[in-house]
Structure 1
């Protein structure tokens, strides 16, 4: 039963609306068919496991992916080492601290806040570009806005030369697609993301070497040259960390913005409220992270020892899937969970994870989404969906529309 539901979730036919399948999963908070992963789908159990030191994110601790028929092979053949996202303490903690020094508190507490004006300028420029491109009777908000915005931001944060930014579109899309644990994927197609990782790795290695010789004030220079209490990053650590920031920082924000606009267009009353009150973007983004999270599930976590969850004993070395999007719709935590409600109080969602692996770039992702959605609401006149549901990306893990065709009557200054 569990494997059948998981295969349905992976099935592209259900990409537009997986939530009825998550509802089925929640009937058994810890589901296991005797083969494959243990699937955890309820809020409190997921939240507990995200904070449990007996759960490993290190793929090296997986006893065997062969026993998991739904496991993906995204790390196979990669030329990049695991980022700190896929490491356990103490290595995870050391690298995360080092990465955080130029990015956030306590050493750089105003970094994200001080980017607000620059981010606003990028948003305005992209919307102006929509006017220049025309026609307004068919705008693709993904290609023309949601996709270029985060990649421009993360490239500027790291210090990637503007002329090289377009190259990251192809690399990011190819690598993100490989994160989807598709049971029917053609093994020969794994060469494509491996090639993308190799090209990205070679490019970043050259950029890191250049920054060591001529450091600037960008984040990549800090990663390459800083030598704090935790020592200095090796070239390979700086390489994997910068790749993580480029890919993870881009793909999740694209989905957050696109899922957000799709939801607002389906709720025109909320869209109009946002147009009148841009500050409403703050609670709207929090509710979107619950209602339509950009990361739907975390596959391939591993138990380091035997553990009991909701009365089920999970053995050491077992593979876990934590279905965040299902936990976000758990009625035991959220009243009327299938209703989009930006006035919902105390939204303690799982949309950005929790525990030591909570989203590193959460402050930046929140600000990007708030600025993007509020400005789109203000400037687009009478926006409306042309396809509902729109075409979705193949990826079931990083779920979002591949295109979002809309029309509008004009664009305000």
Structure 2
């Protein structure tokens, strides 16, 4: 197949267990125009430059008519993730006030004790089991519980998993306007979750607590106050993004360590290396592989290739993270790698909002799992993967213990 079909090959389900040879092919191409009108970019310095380029838009209203993604513009209110400055900056500032410094400097750090208790309780529940599923038994329930407690959302809501699955499926770049059933499911999930969040927000306005949703609903900072639509839209973003990427971080992390037992044993002996190891995991097996919602607002040139205004740009973060021009032994997992400025959590104005929490969760989760699980062994390699090529991670990760 030609390099004009690289995107199709990378996103094919058959490539999910190991897309890295295709990313190597992409880097050799530098910039790959695709049959569907998009442009695929995979070299580190190109990706990094585009993530910081003010000529690159995240608003699909700037996408040329008839091109991939143009049919999704105007689907409804957008979170700050899908907006450009200055509106993006206003919404992100308002949201950040309730998440981190300087307005809420202790929001994440104050959760350390609670996170440790949750991790210990979940691993206690694995005691005595000969076979466990890292995803269902640990990597999913841990970050979901954390984000619910952070936001002040009832954890027992039974519809969360179905809503999240439907909304994540909606960001699959292979989706087209012809996928009517998938679109309907996503729209229904969006509407139901919006109504649920709107009810919680009204409750928090009447009776605020110390959770993040209460802060967002009642705070009036220099930028004013979030209206109900903005609150609902961005609360849904925080809930979905606040656990989906962390599920992949933990699961991909355990899979990588089980494939590298010498590294696993080293981390057991030297737990102080875990923060560096998590950074390396974010480079080596990032939870987000592709950023497809990028559009140049003027004609731009990348490595001698002109990308016309309005064309879809797909930034392959996972490819950039394995670029040998930037990283020595790029295809090797090095737990104490120095100079590790990866793009596993993005970069620029749209860098991962929840990165401090994701890092902390990953460090605590993996440290406790490798400390407590006796002689863990993969049951199946490669494991079955989730269908979405953007949020790449195993759907199940079965491990035998003892």
Is TM-score (shorter-chain normalized) higher than 0.5? yes
Give the structure 2 partner of residue 294 of structure 1.
Answer: 287
CA deviation map 1:311-342 (0-9, x unaligned): 22222112101010000111110111111111
Distance in 1 (alpha carbons) for counterparts of 2:59 and 2:182: 24
The alpha-carbon distance between structure 1 residues 326 and 129, as it changes in their structure 2 partners (threshold 3 A), is same
Question: Offset of 1:67 from its aligned partner?
Answer: 2.7
SS of aligned partner of 1:95:
helix
Is structure 2 residue 107 aligned with structure 1 residue 114?
no
SS of aligned partner of 2:286:
coil
Question: Offset of 1:167 from its aligned partner?
Answer: 2.7
- Alignment partner of 1:227 out of 220, 233, 236: 220
Pairing of 1:338-377 with structure 2 (within 5 A): 338-377=331-370
Question: Offset of 1:390 from its aligned partner?
Answer: 0.4
Give the structure 2 partner of residue 191 of structure 1.
Answer: 184
Distance in 2 (alpha carbons) for counterparts of 1:63 and 1:72: 7
- Alignment partner of 1:401 out of 368, 372, 394: 394
Question: Offset of 1:76 from its aligned partner?
Answer: 7.5
Normalising by structure 2, what TM-score? 0.96
CA deviation map 1:364-385 (0-9, x unaligned): 0000000000000110010010
Question: Which consecutive aligned stretches of 4+ in structure 1 deviate over 4 angstroms post-superposition?
Answer: 75-78
Distance in 2 (alpha carbons) for counterparts of 1:320 and 1:7: 14
Is structure 2 residue 169 aligned with structure 1 residue 173?
no
Is structure 2 residue 203 aligned with structure 1 residue 203?
no
Distance in 1 (alpha carbons) for counterparts of 2:14 and 2:221: 50
Question: Offset of 1:35 from its aligned partner?
Answer: 4.5
Is structure 2 residue 325 aligned with structure 1 residue 324?
no
Give the structure 2 partner of residue 263 of structure 1.
Answer: 256
Distance in 1 (alpha carbons) for counterparts of 2:383 and 2:35: 37
Give the structure 2 partner of residue 41 of structure 1.
Answer: 42
SS of aligned partner of 1:232:
coil
Give the structure 2 partner of residue 67 of structure 1.
Answer: 67
Distance in 2 (alpha carbons) for counterparts of 1:93 and 1:189: 31
Distance in 1 (alpha carbons) for counterparts of 2:74 and 2:260: 44
Question: Offset of 1:85 from its aligned partner?
Answer: 0.3
Q: Which runs of 5+ in 2 are unaligned?
A: none
Let me know the Cα RMSD of the aligned residues. Answer: 1.6
SS of aligned partner of 1:21:
helix
Normalising by structure 1, what TM-score? 0.93
Question: Offset of 1:155 from its aligned partner?
Answer: 0.5
Give the structure 2 partner of residue 88 of structure 1.
Answer: 84
Distance in 2 (alpha carbons) for counterparts of 1:169 and 1:188: 18
CA deviation map 1:197-227 (0-9, x unaligned): 1111110010011111111111001111100
Range moving further from structure 2, 102-111 or 360-369: 102-111
Give the structure 1 partner of residue 385 of structure 2.
Answer: 392
Tell me the number of residue pairs that the alignment of Structure 1 and Structure 2 aligns. 400
Question: Offset of 1:183 from its aligned partner?
Answer: 5.4
Give the structure 1 partner of residue 205 of structure 2.
Answer: 212
Give the structure 1 partner of residue 147 of structure 2.
Answer: 154
Query: 2:280 touches 2:340 (CA, 8 Å); kept in 1?
Result: yes
Is structure 2 residue 18 aligned with structure 1 residue 17?
yes
Question: Offset of 1:343 from its aligned partner?
Answer: 2.0
